[in-house]
Homo-oligomer: A and B are copies of this chain.
């Protein structure tokens, strides 16, 4: 907990050195704040724009102590920081978001249980711990579903699709034996996400919800406005506010929702939540006066939150893997606002950058 805004010149400690850490560090710099990045990888993208760097495994608690003692607040750029590491840092510096938010987001089962315990709808699911659980799940929920590992799943990693036309034996063979869930496939019209920012006093503000499109189980595009009803957007915000409040959350939180097809009592279900800045909020960098990165920094540093007002409509397109080879074409394309992450190696499926396009609001 930070009671007074951290003065300019203070240092933000960030676990994780990827593109989100990089964009957080840039936002901090704009506010006259320094960044200290903790990452196990040499040459992490965020290092280049931070005034301090620690290269150490997350399990090195001595390094964690030194890092946390050297900064004024600690945050994360991704949710899969080991909880022990994050909680150890908390002994030496204020941390935000709260560790509970990470614990829940790290475990799909815990997340589902947390959400349903607060009457926030999710797709029907069952816990899977052994092969026979899969058979039983198919029996109870029907064959159309996805087997997802509870831990360390993102961008479609650790997921196996099941369905009426898919041989369940193959799925069972592919099943790793790891604690998982079987999630019923719910027919949905579209996905929107809600990016919210909450401060230490419990004030919460929301960006307009983007509509998200995926390719290869990875976010490809976000569009604002989403083109959904105001009611639906307000419902997404209400669910997000409830989640943030129950977690006593501080910082940016992102919740992905499926808007269900047809008239239903539950027009929205939560797909997943992320206790951090989010890829589907990258359009805020150019379409808003204050972007999600600055607002995360403002929130965790105890500053007043910036307005989430949007001056333009926008579309964000991810540059994934060898999309990057087109950088020169994109850079010369009228109105394409390019953001590259400084990753030296282009690999298939790796997020290399994104492009924002702005349009006048009607």
Q: Identify the A interface with B (CB < 8 A).
A: 5, 7-9, 22, 25-26, 29-34, 47-51, 286, 289-290, 298, 303-304, 306-307, 311-312, 324, 327-328, 331-332, 334-335, 337-344, 353, 358, 360
In the bound complex, CA of A5 to CA of B339 (Å) = 16
- Nearest residue (CB) in B for A343 is B32
Q: Tell whether, in the assembled complex, residue A335 and residue B289 are in contact, meaning their CB atoms are under 8 Å apart.
A: yes
Q: Which residues of B contact A343 (CB under 8 A)?
A: 32
Given contacts A311-B312, A328-B5, contact A341 B289 (CB under 8 A): no
From B32, B289, B335, B340, contact of A32 by CB (8 A) = B340
Q: Which residues of B contact A340 (CB under 8 A)?
A: 8, 30-32
From B5, B48, B51, contact of A29 by CB (8 A) = B48
Given contacts A26-B30, A312-B311, contact A342 B9 (CB under 8 A): yes
How many copies of the shown chain assemble into the complex?
2
Q: Which residues of B contact A311 (CB under 8 A)?
A: 311-312, 358, 360
The list of the 3 closest CB pairs from A to B, nearest first, reads A32-B340, A304-B332, A48-B51
CB distance from A200 to the nearest CB of B (A): 14
In the bound complex, CA of A47 to CA of B48 (Å) = 10
CB distance from A163 to the nearest CB of B (A): 40
In the bound complex, CA of A306 to CA of B31 (Å) = 25
A-B contacts, 29 listed (Cβ < 8 Å): A5-B331, A7-B327, A8-B327, A8-B340, A8-B342, A9-B342, A9-B344, A25-B49, A26-B26, A29-B49, A30-B338, A30-B339, A32-B340, A32-B341, A32-B353, A33-B342, A34-B48, A34-B342, A48-B50, A49-B49, A286-B289, A289-B335, A289-B337, A289-B358, A304-B331, A307-B334, A311-B311, A311-B312, A311-B360
Q: Which residues of B contact A328 (CB under 8 A)?
A: 5
Pick the most buried of A8, A22, A304: most chain B CB atoms within 10 A of its CB. A8
Q: Tell whether, in the assembled complex, residue A31 and residue B338 are in contact, meaning their CB atoms are under 8 Å apart.
A: yes
In the bound complex, CA of A327 to CA of B9 (Å) = 12
Pick the most buried of A5, A26, A32, A303: most chain B CB atoms within 10 A of its CB. A32
From B8, B9, B49, contact of A26 by CB (8 A) = B49
